[in-house]
A and B are shown apart, each in its own frame.
Chain A
Amino acid sequence: MSSSRAAESLLALNQQEELEDLPREYPLSTSEDEGDSDGERKHQKLLEAISSLDGKNRRKLAERSEASLKVSEFSVSSEGSGEKLVLSDLLEPVKTSSSLAAVKKQLNRVKSKKTVELPLHKEEIERIHREVAFNKTSQVLSKWDPVVQKNRQAEQLVFPLSKQQSIFAPIEHVVSGWKARTPLEQEIFNLLHKNKQPVTDPLLTPMEKASLKAMSLEEVKMRRAELQRARALQSYYEARARREKKIKSKKYHKLLKKGKAKQALKEFEKLRKVNPAAALEELEKLEKARMMERMSLKHQNSGKWAKSKAVMAKYDLEARQAMQEQLARNKELMQKIQVASESAEEEGGAEEEGEPFVPDVVNEVQMKVDRPNPWMFRNHSGDTKEAEVQGDPEELAEPAAQEAPESEEEGPAVAEEILLKEFEERRSLRQKSGLNQIAKPVGSQEAKDLSSQEVLSELRALSQKLNRESHQSRKQELSSTRTVLVVQREEAAREEEEPLLLQRPERARTLDELEELGKEGCFQNKELPRVAVEGQQLERNPSNHLGVPKEKKRKEQMIDLQNLLTTKSPSMKSLAVPTTVEELEDEERDQRQMIKEAFAGDDVIRDFLKEKREAVEASKPKDVDLTLPGWGEWGGVGLKPSAKKRRRFLIKAPEGPPRKDKNLPNVILNEKRNIHAVAHQVRMLPYPFTHHQQFERTIQTPIGSTWNTQRSFQKLTMPKVVTKPGHIIKPIKAEDVGYRSSSRSDLSVIQRNPKRLSIRHKKQLKKNSVD
């Protein structure tokens, strides 16, 4: 509104200016007529005629401008008195003169024009100026609104807002800017100049300069080209890899993997021929990869897939097969040490050629030294088939796989049995492997060059593996597998009878071995079914338990810990092994029993109920008995007021509202207000909260590191304003928040609008300057 008003007044100003212009124009137009006296006269007449037009016949005394013959007493000018009136003059029709028309026109124009307003007061003008300026300024300021809003609501503000780049002035500048003033300084400067030390020049020696320019242009170009090439290549390879990675086809990937494996094998063969040492390294690498695979437990039946399959195994043939396949794979992976031991055995064979053969008997005797080892014992006392089986354990997997189709017919129960057995088998194998590790050094005591032999054996094992892969299908015979199974079952039975491990005379000697052991332990921990079986065994022969060697004990304890923590694993359920589950339940029952026994004395529940009853009683409103004994009847010791009277004067208390914990059997709710707590309670809902629940929730959310992770603790305790000590915080700038600051300086703007200095101020300034 104010702006429109301002505009209006500005318009008025313009009009005023026009008004000032007008008077200048009028004289110009009239002066043209003044040229001849004739016209003048006519004009005079006209004026008279006009004045006589309106009703009152005003007479104006004519001005006498020349000497005339006759002077009328009414001061009528006797102009043209000497002229004679001619008749023809009277006969002529009256004509409108052109000069009159012009006057008329002028007159009309004057009439149509309105009067111009008076110029505004100076105060008023200033006010308008101010208002316009204020509007402009507030517009400029309103650009800060979002920034201010954002800063007010910000979770955290970090000051200073803009990061300052510390400017390092070159030393020459500093030095040149400094002058020696005191006599002492001057003296020192003189001394320095005498020695022609560089003071103001750049302080680089020629040597340094040369070193700065060391790289020649060609060199630089070459390097650049090289880099460019490298970059192009890299980008090409990256693109290719990306493209290949995108391919989703399983078949493609399978082929790719196979191709890679083949390639690797070929290379390895080649390498073995050319450079055995390198090949050995390669082998070690392979071994390590295998170990990793073993560690990863990928192929055990603990994965999600395996679990789902186990559920399905009962009904689905394919699932069963897949599972067995996986187990086979697992076994295969777990075989390493077996291979080594086998190779150790074969070592003997190898040695045959070079050295006198160490007879089996010797080995046997040695084994007999550490008698309690059941595996060793069995190894040698077992029948040939068993030996064969153990000697070539890779075959173990295949028989199992072979058996599967047979077992289908026997129904799901059999399948489960087989699975169970397989687990046992695996365990036993692992134990064997452990033993073999121990046995190996004993066996190799005679060996002269242990390391080389090992290398050889390992190589052999590898080649065997390769062979086996090609021959697998041919090797397998149903009958043999059957026997194998029988044997395994026997093994399992034996296991149950005897302590599982013997005392090891030598502890794990190297760190690696220790680690191996630990890992194994870890594996076993994860393998719950096995654990369950062990538990079974332990319970079955507690007498043996006492004699269990220390080493074994430790292992078991570790297992038990795990068992305790992961009471029931889903994998176990999925396998649906009723016996093992029962065992676990038994254990739990035991635990419960134990707790019961420990707390046999105190009956907490009854105590609680009693307490609750008391609380309820106490909170009930009491009846008031107003009977006065002896009032209106006999009183004394042993006399009671009559029942009628008692009934009359007893005021029954109204029944209170139902208790809140009426339907909560395990809870006592105290409905009394605690005056001690009141001092610590907030009485009114504080300002920003609109509902008491909001406030309670904020209070109930803990912010300390006791309840929160480190990250969230830091986030929760973030201070609202962060300042750096020793840093100057400058006022916010337009650049800080991404606005473009005005490029014109305020000073230049002032100097460009000097007209805005009011006249009064100018005068004052002039006066000032004169003074």
Chain B
Amino acid sequence: MKVKMLSRNPDSYVRETKLDLQRVPRNYDPTLHPFEVPREYVRALNATKLERVFAKPFLASLDGHRDGVSCLAKHPKSLATVLSGACDGEVRIWNLTKRKCIRMIQAHEGFVRGICTRFCGTSFFTVGDDKTVKQWKMDGPSYGEEEEPLHTILGKTVYTGIDHHWKEAVFATCGQQVDIWDEQRTSPICSMTWGFDSISSVKFNPIETFLLGSCASDRNIVLYDMRQATPLKKVILDMRTNTICWNPMEAFIFTAANEDYNLYTFDMRALDTPLMIHMDHVSAVLDVDYSPTGKDFVSASFDKSIRIFPVDKSRSREVYHTKRMQHVICVKWTSDSKYIMCGSDEMNIRLWKANASEKLGVLTSREKAATDYNQRLKEKFQHHPHIKRISRHRHLPKSIYSQIQEQRIMKEARRRKELNRIKHSKPGSVQRVSEKKKRVVAVVK
């Protein structure tokens, strides 16, 4: 009998240097790697579980304000800098890496209603309850200088919001009407009105920069064209819209945060039906901000939680809350799309991770490959009941939880009633109106 021995060429397994990875010879013959589906399923299950284990989104709380935080602004050039205005008229500038306040200004008397940075990041604007618009330098006053605004514009009425143009020295304020200001002048170069109610917020479109959107307290959202100095269209919803936000990657898409607990994503060319109704909040939605990638947005609600929605989904993928966080008034997604900041009633600004279980810091290539693989596995098996259950599981405070239950019952009752009405009336006399159409009262040309 012959003895058969394995023989190997050292070239195939000896490393050239110590730093090289050990070469692992692979045989991709499928018969040698059986049970691929069950094995990948188990991997996906484990990945999902680990994702939940490592989901620790809360990073830091920035405290220092002496009243509720009413507005937040990002620095256009520096990721570490954040500006916040409070209800007592104080503006603070924070350094996120140090998690410290680096500057403090008593900007207004009464609320700071709005704050925005200039596109170059050298100065910022605030509006307050004292009917003033103030421009401030981003750098602190030099030695011996007093803390003073660069310019102050005294208006006739209260300004409730401000936003700066994305490319030019133009900013817009809102209040009784939408005013467009040249930075060099003390009077607006153009003001636009439509209706008589006070306008609560105004936002420039980041892509087609001559477009503006505003929302007023008479339940409408109005779009303006700055070049033609005219409003374009108005859509009236069921309830008041608190603020809107434009998608930074899709020029004609914006999302409105509404009082009726929902968010509405519109295509501005077809305002009669919202593209998507995002519902999960159990109280009025107060603020919304898009991720810079344009794939998700975050919303802040009066129900003491913030939620992250994918743009194309009607349900949120994440909900963040802490025991101490009260009504969240403002929220911002940082420009690198990794973090979320929210300012709330109880005077704190909180910093969250945008992906709850993401590992921070530099990843090695193998770590990255592993996370990518896990991500893909989770996507692949997302419909399997166990994995779905685990990945969807979130803890909620009791108040929100019970509210959700309650609202589910209410919604079900409404649905049942509608069905009954259809059932018991003459066929064709009662039309079913789609949920999306129901929310839009009218579109005014």
Contacts and interface: CB of A to CB of B under 8 A. Distances in A.
B229 A725 contact: no
A695 B4 CA distance: 46
Interface in A666-723: 679-683, 686, 695, 698-700, 702-709, 713-714, 716-719, 721, 723
Interface string B41-65: 1010000000000000000000000
A769 interface: yes
B421 to A, nearest CB: 30
B36 A750 contact: no
Given A181-B143, A703-B380, A144 B207 contact: yes
Contacts of B369: 713-714, 717
Contacts of B5: 557, 561
Contacts of B30: 707
Contacts, number: 210
Interface stretch (B124-132, B166-174, B255-263): B166-174
A228 to B, nearest CB: 43
A700 B48 CA distance: 19
Majority secondary structure of chain B interface residues (helix, strand, loop or mixed): loop
Contacts of B167: 745-746
Interface in A710-769: 713-714, 716-719, 721, 723-734, 745-747, 749-751, 753, 756-757, 761, 764-765, 768-769
A703 B373 contact: yes
Nearest to B211: A137
B208 A719 contact: no
Contacts of B373: 703-705, 713, 717
Contacts of A723: 293, 336-338
Interface stretch (B230-238, B344-352, B434-442): B230-238
Contact of B384 (A151, A681, A753): A681
A716 B379 CA distance: 12
B445 A683 contact: no
Nearest to A700: B37
Interface string A119-133: 000000011011101
A761 to B, nearest CB: 6
Interface in B355-414: 362, 369, 372-373, 375-377, 380-381, 383-386
Contact of A746 (B170, B294, B376): B170
Given A141-B208, A564-B4, A129 B36 contact: no
Contact of B227 (A127, A144, A695, A750): A750
A732 B207 contact: yes
A183 B142 CA distance: 12
B362 to A, nearest CB: 8
A703 B211 CA distance: 45
Contact of B230 (A700, A702, A756): A756
Given A557-B4, A682-B384, A148 B187 contact: no
Contacts of A771: 156
A764 to B, nearest CB: 7
B182 interface: yes
Contact of B37 (A699, A705, A749): A699
Nearest to B292: A729
Contacts of B386: 679-680
Interface stretch (B82-90, B102-110, B246-254, B279-287): B246-254
Interface residues of B, number: 81
A97 interface: no
A751 B228 contact: no
A133 B225 CA distance: 8
A762 B232 CA distance: 20
Name the residue in B39, B293, B372 with the highest tally of chain A Cβ atoms < 10 Å from its Cβ.
B293
A136 interface: yes
Nearest to A538: B2
Nearest to B6: A561
B145 to A, nearest CB: 8
A140 interface: yes
A746 B293 contact: no
B120 interface: no
A761 B191 contact: yes
A682 B383 contact: yes
A182 B143 contact: yes
A148 B248 CA distance: 11
A159 B293 contact: yes
Contact of A138 (B77, B191, B269, B380): B269
B189 interface: yes
Contact of B168 (A144, A731, A745, A768): A745
Contacts of A680: 41, 384-386
Contacts of B208: 137, 140-141, 144
B3 interface: yes
A724 B79 CA distance: 13
Contacts of B295: 721
Contact of A561 (B7, B211, B252): B7
Contact of A142 (B7, B269, B336): B269
A582 interface: no
B292 A719 contact: no
Interface of A: 2, 126-127, 129-131, 133-134, 136-138, 140-142, 144, 148, 151, 157, 159, 181-183, 557-558, 560-561, 564, 679-683, 686, 695, 698-700, 702-709, 713-714, 716-719, 721, 723-734, 745-747, 749-751, 753, 756-757, 761, 764-765, 768-769, 771
Given A728-B335, A732-B248, A746-B226, 4 more contacts: A702-B36, A746-B170, A761-B190, A768-B187
Q: List the 6 closest A-B pairs by CB distance, nearest first.
A: A731-B206, A729-B292, A731-B248, A702-B36, A749-B227, A728-B335
9 contacts: A137-B211, A141-B252, A557-B4, A561-B6, A680-B41, A717-B369, A723-B293, A726-B79, A731-B207
